[in-house]
Amino acid sequence: MRFSLIFEAQITDASPRGERQVFDELVEQALLAEQLGFDVIWSVEHTSLTHYAHMSAPETFLAFIAGKTSRIGIGHGVVCLMPAMNHPIKVAERIATLDLLSKGRVHFGVGKGGSQQEAGAYGYDLKELQPLIDEAMYLVPKMFVQEEVEHNGPHLTIPARPIHPKPYQDPHPPMYMACTNLDTLARAGQRGLGALVLGFGGPEEVAKKNKIYRDAWASRLPEDQVGYRPIQHLAALCPTIVLDDADRARQIGIKGQRYFYESLNYWYGGGPKPEPETWDDKLLEEGTDTIITTKLASETITMDLRPDEDGRRPSGGILSAKSAYGNVADCIDYVSQLADAGADEILFMTNMGTVPQWAQLETIRKIGTHVIPHFR
């Protein structure tokens, strides 16, 4: 089992002041995680998603973290492979350079991004991107190992060129794929890639996804392999707030989860902007497959789970507050359930908009001091 943190740089204050603050806070969290035995710092990559994610240059953030640490893994979760955003040559060069400077600590995830808001910024139609992403996905690891690469594909043309430098890890860093739906889970398994399950799925949903991934892995074909380092690994997202006061931890965590959902729904489903200043702290959540009902002290609000550009609705798991919110025992119990469901790695997420820094730091301390040692 690996125990990691994943950062979105999610904020309620989208001003330059708020951005400065969130990056300072994430650096502080990463350094604490290094001290307390966490395995990887993962960083997403998003562009033009105000409030939801201001982590638009993870290569810079992760290089900064690598320079301030000596042990912890450095994870791209994930690099968006739209060529106008991240050309395969630059991706290969940046990943290899970071791997050299960090002495082989890089974990390399790939994906396409999740919204037309992002794809459109670079002139793409999200619905038509997958073949282009697939082509780039197979091409980048060739640049890690071959002295010279020439490519004439349906979407990308690269004249014969040497690509430097080569990675520290041989043949290259372990590779993963962002898995937000069942199709991508099967694709990751078929291609011999690790699966980053980046959804609010509870243990039951993780178990379902784990079976799909493991079955696809078991039946994979050599010609479908991406890269030269197969890795069977499923990492599960785990929204987490851990305090001595379990009720307070749940209040803080569920409010943060609501902010995460509403900011996600704003960009991916056309919902209203989140207005956390109007929310009461006494917050409980109940859900169905398509509706989330938030009960406050003075009112009840119902929000539709709006479909994204591909007609998909967000995972029903986002409706459930049954996450690792509570005290140390609650967290251990929930992580145990995820492990039993098949998770090889827990992606603890505390960086959810409204969650204050003190609660995130205390959560990291509790996990590092009590939860990780429990499992090791």
33-56 tens-digit pLDDT: 999 999 999 999 999 999 999 999
* Sequence ranges of the domains in the chain: 2-242+325-375, 246-319
pLDDT in tens, 123-148: 999 999 999 999 999 999 999 999 99
Which tokens hold the place of 129? 């991107």
Q: Which of 210, 237, 201 is CA-nearest to residue 348?
A: 237
Q: Give the mean model confidence (pLDDT) for residues 112-124.
A: 94
What is the identity of the amino acid at 331? C
Task: Specify the DSSP class assigned to residue 72.
Answer: S
pLDDT at 279: 81
Task: Specify the DSSP class assigned to residue 49.
Answer: B
Identify the burial level of 236 via C-beta atoms within 10 angstroms of its C-beta, where 0-12 means exposed, 13-18 middle and 19 or more buried. Answer: buried
Bridge partners for 76 per DSSP: 43, 108
Q: Which of 235, 246, 203, 238 is CA-nearest to residue 351?
A: 238
Q: Distance between CA atoms of 241 and 358, rounded to whole angstroms?
A: 11
Angle at 200 between CA 111 and CA 47, to 5 degrees: 40
pLDDT for 313 beyond 70:
no
Number of other residues whose CB lies within 10 A of the CB of residue 272: 9
pLDDT for 363 beyond 90:
yes
Q: Give the mean model confidence (pLDDT) for residues 155-172.
A: 98
Is it true that domain 2-242+325-375 has CATH number 3.20.20.30?
Answer: yes
Count CA within 13 A, CB hemisphere, residue 154: 7
Q: Which of 61, 8, 31, 34 is CA-nearest to residue 256?
A: 8
Q: Which of 188, 186, 176 is CA-nearest to residue 208?
A: 186
CA separation (Å) from 91 to 58, 166, 231?
Answer: 12, 12, 20
pLDDT at 312: 53
Which tokens hold the place of 13? 């204050």
β-pairing, 157-161 vs 149-152, is antiparallel
Please tell me the pTM assigned to this model. Answer: 0.91
Strand runs labelled E in 67-148:
73-80, 106-111
Helix (H) or strand (E) holding 111: strand 106-111
